[in-house]
Amino acid sequence: MAYHVAAAEWSGRNDPEDGDLARRMHHLANAADAPVALIGFCCDAGISRNKGHPGAAQGPAAIRMALSNLAASAQHRGFLDAGDVVVAEEDPAPGQKELGKHVAGLLANHKRVVILGGGHETAFGSWSGLRRAHPSARIGIVNIDAHLDLRTVGPAGASSGTPFWQIQDAEPESFTYAVLGVADEANTAALMERARDWSVDIVPDHHLQSSAEPGFHCIDRICSESDLVYLTIDLDVLPGSLAPGVSAPAARGVPLCVVEALIDRVMISGKLAVTDIVELCPPRDPAGLTARCAAYLARRLMQTGPTES
């Protein structure tokens, strides 16, 4: 079972003595004609089914809290908070369907939808919403992630490890997928072979330690071949020292500044329509460092100003 709940009111620090330029992200919530919509996906079912650590259902609230007081820039033109899709039982599939419905509806009036997960099962709902809104578009997928998430859907059903298998199964002839930050140690030979069979572009994490440059050719290819781009970011791509609050912290990971540069490369294409940030598990990071990293990335993804023109 899955259902939708309305967003809570945003609040945060105010500095009126500094005038109109002292805006923080909470000041931009639910602005008129906002080009960006935000929606949460509160779901532990996918991670639990994938034998991970539950807690991702708390992720959207933690990211909003960390995002609220961050400074707003001239590139931030406001956002609509569309609330949360909540998955109440052990099957993520109803939640993926509900999320897809809401994402499609939001795309009718917004340039971009930013989804706060949830485990990576969020991805099938995110992609489904984009496809529903644009049934004829060529959709390219860029996944910044330590994992391929191409596991086959078994008898138990979908999980946080299966979303891109689900997408390929839905559209095998037009599956355009790149994964940046893949950890060789975290993906079985079976998954790597499937990726090769499906012509998935892979950039390993050890190629992205000092620069985002090795990932640019994949991003550029996806963007050039696509009408619209879906960008998904799994926080377990970051080093575990920076992002301990995930189900599977990385021993190596990809530096935050490199992830930010990869995001920027997608954004300058002007084709980014749907994006999500997944796998935040607040109970595994009481200090909230991982949520702060997620908020930094969300803030970047919510920019729709002149830098994209």
> What are 220-271's pLDDT values in tens digits?
999 999 999 999 999 999 999 999 999 999 999 999 999 999 999 999 999 9
Rounded CA-CA distance 120/204 in Å is 19
Compute the Cα dihedral for 103, 221, 264, 260 and give only its sign.
positive
> Amino acid identity of 264?
D
Q: Could you tell me the domains of the chain?
A: 2-308 (3.40.800.10)
What are the start-end ranges of the H helices in the chain? 45-49, 59-68, 93-107, 122-133, 163-170, 189-197, 213-225, 256-267, 289-301
Question: Across the beta sheet with 112-116, what order do the strands follow?
Answer: 2-5, 79-87, 36-42, 112-116, 272-278, 228-234, 139-144, 177-182, 201-204
* pTM for this prediction: 0.96
For the chain, give the percent of residues with pLDDT over 90: 96
Name the nearest CA neighbour of 22 among 31, 12, 11, 14: 14
Rounded CA-CA distance 270/283 in Å is 36
Rg (CA), the chain: 18
Q: Is the peptide bond before 125 cis (omega within 30 degrees of 0)?
A: no
What pLDDT, in 10s, does the model give residues 269-284? 999 999 999 999 999 9
Rounded CA-CA distance 194/172 in Å is 13
Q: Which residues contact 148 (CB under 8 A, 6 or more apart)?
A: 164, 179, 182, 187, 191, 192, 194, 195, 200, 202
Binned at pLDDT 50, 70 and 90, residue 20 comes out as confident
Name the nearest CA neighbour of 46 among 87, 85, 84: 87
Buried b / exposed e along 199-224 (16+ C-beta atoms within 10 A): ebbbbbbebbeeebebbeebbeebbe
Amino acid 308: pLDDT = 44
Rounded CA-CA distance 54/217 in Å is 35
Average pLDDT over residues 79-104: 97
